[in-house]
Chain A
Amino acid sequence: MLKIEKRASPSKTWNWAAPIMAVALTMIVGGALFGLLGVNPFQAIAKIFYEPLFGEYAFYYRPQLMIKAAPLVLIAIGLSMGFRAGIWNIGAEGQYIMGALSGAGLALALYPMELPILLPLMVIAGALGGMLWGLIPGYLKVKFGTNEILVSLMLVYVAEQILASMALGLMKNPEGMGFPGSRNLQQYPSAHNAEIFAGSGMHWGVAAALIAVIFAYVMLTRHMFGFQLRLSGIAPRAAKFAGVDPGRMILICMGLSGALAGMAGLFEIAGPAGQVSIDFNVGYGFTAIIVAFLGRLNPIGILLAGLLLAITYVGGEITQSQMGLPLAAIQLFQGMLLFFLLAMDMLTNYRFRRSTKEAV
C-alpha cells in the first residue's frame, strides 16, 4: 500500500519538476482529448507549440507572443510579491481597468495637444490609478480587518461598471456617431504606445515587463524587502519579531501589485487595444494569477510561464482556424495546465511511501 506523508521541508527538485511534469501531462491528456474530437493529436499539439515560434508566419507570431505575454508577466510579477507574503490580491483585473482609464483619461482630456512627455505622464497616471484601486482593499484590511480576497474581487465588478460608464459617457468619442467607445489612441501620436521598433512587437509595455522581472529578481534575492516578504509568508510571527510591520507590508504589496496592473492596463489601452470600450478587459488580471503560480512566484519562472500561456493562446487560435478545433477544447487544454500543476504541487510538500503491514 502507498501512504502519503508530509515532507519535512518542501522538495527542491519537485518544486521545479512540477511545472515540467504538468506541461507533459497536459500534452498527454490534452492530446487524448483532441484525438477523441477526431483531430490528429500530435499534429494539433505540434501546431499549438511549434507554429507560433517556428512556423511559416512565425515572424508575425513571435512579436504577438510578446504583446500577449507582456501584460500577463507585468501583472503576475506584482501579484507574486503579495502571494509570497500571504497577501491575496485577486482583483488585478480591476486595477488593470482603473490604470487604463486613468492614463487614457489624461490623454483624452489633452487631445489633440501634441506633448512629447504625454506617454510617460500617462504611464504614471496609469500606475497611480491601479495603485489607488489596489490600496482600497489593502487599507480596509489594515484598518478594519476585512478580507482582501473578497474586497479586491468585488472591486473588479465596480471597475467594470465604471469602464462601461466611461465608454458610454465621459470618454465617448464625440465623432463616433453615438456608438460607445473612446477615440482611438493609436491615432493620437503623443499618446500612442507604439512599437519601439516597427514590427518587433516591442512596445513600452514589453520593455516594462522585462524591467519588472529583473527588478523583482534583484529585490527578492538581494534586498532586505525581499527577505521580509518571504519571511512574512513563511512565518508571520517571526517576521513580526524581526520588526516587519504587517500593515505596512499589506499596503506595500497591494499598492505595488495594483500599480503594475495599472501600468499593464495603460500600455494595453494606449497600444494594442487603442480605445476605451465596454469590454476592454479580457481577463489578463485573472490569467496572471495562473501565470504567477505556474512560474512558482519566481520572476524568471513568471516570464517563462507568461510566454507559455501566450503560446497556448496564439497557437490555440492557429489550431482553431487551421484544424477546426473548437475553442472549448483549447480552453480545456489551458485549464488542464493549472489543474495538473496544482496536482503535481502536492509532490513538492508530500511524498508517497510504501507502508508495510507492521507499520499499521
Chain B
Amino acid sequence: MKLIKSLATAALALGVASAAMAEDKTKVGFVFVGPVGDGGWTYEHNQGRLAVEAEFGDKVETVFVESVPEGADSERVMTQMALEGADLIFTTSFGYMDPTINVASKFPNVKFEHATGYKRADNVSTYSARFYEGRAVQGLIAGNITKSNIIGYIGSFPIPEVIRGINSAYIQAKKVNPDVEFKIVWAYTWFDPAKEADAAKALIEQGADVILQHTDSTAPQAAAAEAGNVYTFGQASDMAEYAPMPRVSSIIDNWAPYYIERTKAVMDGTWTSTDTWAGIGAGMVGIGEITDAVPADVKEAALALKAAIASGDVHPFTGPLNKQDGSAWLAEGEVADDGTLAGLNFYVEGITGEIPQ
C-alpha cells in the first residue's frame, strides 16, 4: 500500500517537474568530473558556464556539481538536476555516456549534451573538440626544441581521444626531427596531481626534456619547473602561470561559444540532437601564446601550421602513414576519415610501446 502511494506521488511529482520547466527562466545544469579549480578541463567547462551566465543574465540560471564520479553517482546527480527543473544539462566527461542516455530516456523534455561520447538520442547531443589539431602544433614545437630527442607524454586513459593526440603530436615531431622518440606513461586518471607529478618526474628521469600531458592538473608543470630546462604545454587551460618557462604554449578548450549557442537554441525552441566535432577553425580549440623560450623561426612555423589547419589546407592525419606494425594506413595525400579517427586505437609507425589492452 505504502509502495503504491509513493509510486503515485512519484508520478505526480514528475508531472509537477515538467510543468515547472514552463517557467521563463532557462535552467542549465553542468555535471563536472573534476573540481572547478583544477586549472584544466573542468575549469574551462566552468568558464563556459560563466559565459552562459554573462551572455543571458537574468534569463538563465546555471547550476553545477563538481567531482562527480562516473557511473551510478552521476546518474543521480543528473536526475536531481532534471527533477529540479533543468532544461538543458551538459555532462562533461566520457564516462557519463550511459548514465546520460539512461536519464535522458526518463526525461524526454530535458535536453542533454554529452561531451566526447558517441551515443545520441532525440534529446541527447554529443560534442567534442578536435584537440588533435592542437596536438599537431605542439608536436611541431616539441620536435624542434628537444635537445635529448626524448619527448615525454602523460596519457590519461588509452581511449581514442588520447591516442589521437599522441599520434598527431608524434607525426609532426617526427617531420621536423627524425630522431625524436616518445616515452608514454599512462596515469589512469584525468585529475590527480600526485600521480601526474610522479609521471612527469619519471619521464624527466628517463631523459625527456619536453613533457606533453593529457591530464588536467598543473602538477606536471610544477614538476618541470622544479627540474629546470624542461618544456611543457598547458593542457585544456592556458596554465599561463607557468609561462614563459616551463610552459611554452598550450591547448585551450573554448566551450563558451558552443554553450551559449546551445542554450540559445533551447530558449528559442530550435534545439535538435546533433553531433559536433569542431577544431581550431571554429575556435573550439585555441593555441595559447607561444612564449619567447621558443626560437622565433619555430614559433613562426607553428603559427603557420595552426593557420593551415584552421583554414583546412592541412589535415594532421595526411598520408603516407603506416600503422605501428608497419602495415599501410593512409596512402600518399590520403586524409583519415572522421569515423576512423573517432575510434582510433593504434599507434602510427615509429612510436614504441604498446597501447594497454
The answer to whether A321 touches B63 (Cβ under 8 A) is: yes
The answer to whether A179 touches B84 (Cβ under 8 A) is: no
A26 interface contact, C-beta 8 A = no
Measured between beta carbons, the chain B residues less than 8 angstroms from A62 are 6
A169 interface contact, C-beta 8 A = yes
CB B91 to nearest CB in A, in angstroms, measures: 13
A273 interface contact, C-beta 8 A = yes
| From B29, B94, B95, B343, residue with most partner A Cβ within 10 Å | B95
Q: How far is the CA of A280 from the CA of B79 in the complex (A)?
A: 20
Q: If the complex has contacts A165-B356, A314-B76, are A280 and B71 also in contact, measured as CB distance less than 8 A?
A: yes
Which residue in A59, A64, A184, A282 is a CB contact (below 8 Å) of B6? Answer: A59
A272 interface contact, C-beta 8 A = yes
B260 interface contact, C-beta 8 A = no
> Please, what's the 1-or-0 string for A153-172, where 1 marks a CB less than 8 Å from any CB in chain B?
00000000000110011000
Measured between beta carbons, the chain B residues less than 8 angstroms from A327 are 35, 65-67
Which residue in B71, B94, B356 is a CB contact (below 8 Å) of A282? Answer: B71
The answer to whether A168 touches B357 (Cβ under 8 A) is: yes
Q: How far is the CA of A326 from the CA of B67 in the complex (A)?
A: 10
B83 interface contact, C-beta 8 A = yes
The answer to whether B95 touches A317 (Cβ under 8 A) is: no
The answer to whether B70 touches A321 (Cβ under 8 A) is: no
Which residue in A178, A200, A328 is a CB contact (below 8 Å) of B344? Answer: A178
A56 interface contact, C-beta 8 A = yes
Q: How far is the CA of A61 from the CA of B66 in the complex (A)?
A: 19
Which residue in B6, B65, B157, B343 is a CB contact (below 8 Å) of A317? Answer: B65
Measured between beta carbons, the chain A residues less than 8 angstroms from B158 are 168, 180
> Please, what's the 1-or-0 string for B60-91, where 1 marks a CB less than 8 Å from any CB in chain A?
00011111111111011101110110000000
Q: Considering the complex, give the chain B residue whose CB is closest to the CB of A197.
A: B3
B10 interface contact, C-beta 8 A = yes
Q: Considering the complex, give the chain A residue whose CB is closest to the CB of B12.
A: A59
> Please, what's the 1-or-0 string for A304-335, where 1 marks a CB less than 8 Å from any CB in chain B?
00000000001001101110001110000000
B342 interface contact, C-beta 8 A = yes
Q: How far is the CA of A56 from the CA of B80 in the complex (A)?
A: 11
Measured between beta carbons, the chain B residues less than 8 angstroms from A314 are 76
Measured between beta carbons, the chain A residues less than 8 angstroms from B345 are 178
Measured between beta carbons, the chain B residues less than 8 angstroms from A280 are 71
Which residue in A57, A169, A180, A328 is a CB contact (below 8 Å) of B157? Answer: A180
CB B294 to nearest CB in A, in angstroms, measures: 34
Measured between beta carbons, the chain B residues less than 8 angstroms from A68 are 76
The answer to whether A279 touches B69 (Cβ under 8 A) is: yes
Which residues 305-354 of B sit at the A interface, judged by CB distance below 8 A?
342-345
Chain A interface: which size bin? 35 or more
The answer to whether A282 touches B69 (Cβ under 8 A) is: yes
The answer to whether A272 touches B95 (Cβ under 8 A) is: no
Measured between beta carbons, the chain B residues less than 8 angstroms from A318 are 80
Measured between beta carbons, the chain B residues less than 8 angstroms from A164 are 188, 356
CB B124 to nearest CB in A, in angstroms, measures: 15
Measured between beta carbons, the chain A residues less than 8 angstroms from B10 are 59-60, 199
CB B79 to nearest CB in A, in angstroms, measures: 6
The answer to whether A274 touches B79 (Cβ under 8 A) is: no
The answer to whether B77 touches A317 (Cβ under 8 A) is: yes
B159 interface contact, C-beta 8 A = yes
CB B119 to nearest CB in A, in angstroms, measures: 10
The answer to whether A179 touches B64 (Cβ under 8 A) is: no
Q: Considering the complex, give the chain B residue whose CB is closest to the CB of A314.
A: B76
A87 interface contact, C-beta 8 A = no
The answer to whether A60 touches B71 (Cβ under 8 A) is: no
Q: How far is the CA of A274 from the CA of B74 in the complex (A)?
A: 13
CB B116 to nearest CB in A, in angstroms, measures: 10
Which residue in B13, B36, B72, B98 is a CB contact (below 8 Å) of A268? Answer: B72
Q: How far is the CA of A136 from the CA of B70 in the complex (A)?
A: 30
B39 interface contact, C-beta 8 A = no
Q: How far is the CA of A56 from the CA of B67 in the complex (A)?
A: 25
Measured between beta carbons, the chain B residues less than 8 angstroms from A321 are 29, 63-65, 77, 80-81, 84
The answer to whether A322 touches B63 (Cβ under 8 A) is: yes
The answer to whether A328 touches B160 (Cβ under 8 A) is: no
Q: How far is the CA of A178 from the CA of B13 in the complex (A)?
A: 40
> Please, what's the 1-or-0 string for B84-118, where 1 marks a CB less than 8 Å from any CB in chain A?
10000000001100100010000000000000001
Q: How far is the CA of A332 from the CA of B76 in the complex (A)?
A: 21
A277 interface contact, C-beta 8 A = yes
The answer to whether B160 touches A178 (Cβ under 8 A) is: yes
B9 interface contact, C-beta 8 A = yes
Q: How far is the CA of A64 from the CA of B83 in the complex (A)?
A: 14
Nearest first, the 4 A-B pairs at minimum CB distance are A272-B72, A178-B345, A169-B357, A178-B343
Other A-B pairs, 10, CB within 8 Å; known A277-B71, A326-B36: A57-B13, A178-B160, A180-B158, A200-B3, A272-B71, A273-B72, A274-B72, A314-B76, A317-B68, A321-B64
Binding site for B on A (CB under 8 A): 56-57, 59-62, 64, 67-68, 164-165, 168-169, 177-181, 184, 186, 197-200, 268, 272-275, 277-280, 282, 314, 317-318, 320-322, 326-328
* 9 A–B contacts, CB within 8 A, in A order: A56-B13, A60-B83, A165-B357, A178-B344, A184-B98, A199-B6, A268-B72, A278-B188, A321-B64
